[in-house]
Structure 1
Amino acid sequence: MLSHRREHDVLVLTVHEDPGISGRAGLAGAIMDFVRAFQPAPVLVVIGDAAATPATASAVLRAHRRCGDLDVLFSAVSHDASVRRLLEDNADSGGRGLVVHSRVDAAIASAYGAAA
């Protein structure tokens, strides 16, 4: 369901499948486990096409809210416009904002540049 890699000092997490309503908390927890392990690296969550659902967006938003106290740059990528809108419209405005992109390469460059 979730894979990770480091690219240009950015932790890139890819969600490969929809966690469903009952799997949202588990996915958010798994994202946070990686965030804590690689802290203070910026985090980019890539939402794969098969995972582009409201449940995935909800899990990403939960993880983003939990990152508020960690001072970790957190961003997300989805090719799906409706998922990007869900993320943008529901992101917690306290602390660091959630940056939402449509392209992975641009998101990695942005996160790397912001962290440098």
Structure 2
Amino acid sequence: MLLSHSLDHGVLVITVHHAPGIGGRAELLSRIEGLVHAHKPAPVVITLEEPATDGAAVSVVLRVHRMCRDLGILMSVASASAPIRRVLEANTDTAGTHLVIHARTDTAVAAAFAAAA
């Protein structure tokens, strides 16, 4: 399973379980975009599990962030990987809403819930 999703206190939580690789990047992006559109205007938290921390997954997260920003949807990312958090921070588009990056999913969900309330 590439990804799963759930709603937690009105926050759409999308967990990417495995790296999509270059060949799977478009599919991952399409699936996440579909989930975001289906649940808008719910805030979004994307969790990158350890096996999902590759360049293709990071690229998808950054593209989804731009889409969420354009739609006015709050988006956060959670990853236990400090190197991935640094890469996300360094490559985030600084125009508009800033991408919020957390080390833990529960913290990201709580912050998104509080910000949306």
Q: Please give the TM-score of this superposition, normalised by the length of structure 2.
A: 0.94
Aligned to 1:40: 41
Find runs of 4+ consecutive structure 1 residues off by over 4 angstroms.
none
1:87 lines up with 2:102 in the alignment:
no
> Which amino acid in the other structure matches residue 2 of structure 1?
L
Cα-Cα RMSD? 0.9
Deviations along 1:38-92, whole A, 9 cap, x unmatched? 0000000000111111211111111111222210000100001111111111111
SS of 1:92's equivalent in the other structure is coil
Deviations along 1:3-61, whole A, 9 cap, x unmatched? 10000110000001000012222212211111100000000000011111121111111
Aligned to 2:107: 106
Query: Is the deviation greater in 72-81 or in 50-59?
Result: 50-59
Contact 1:49 1:80 in 2 (8 A): yes
SS of 1:14's equivalent in the other structure is strand
Identity among equivalent positions (%) equals 49
SS of 1:17's equivalent in the other structure is coil
> Which amino acid in the other structure matches residue 112 of structure 1?
F
> Which amino acid in the other structure matches residue 69 of structure 2?
G
Partners of 2:113 and 2:8 in 1: how far apart?
9
**Deviation of the 1:95 alpha carbon:** 2.0
Structure 2 unaligned runs (5+)?
Answer: none
Partners of 1:70 and 1:81 in 2: how far apart?
28
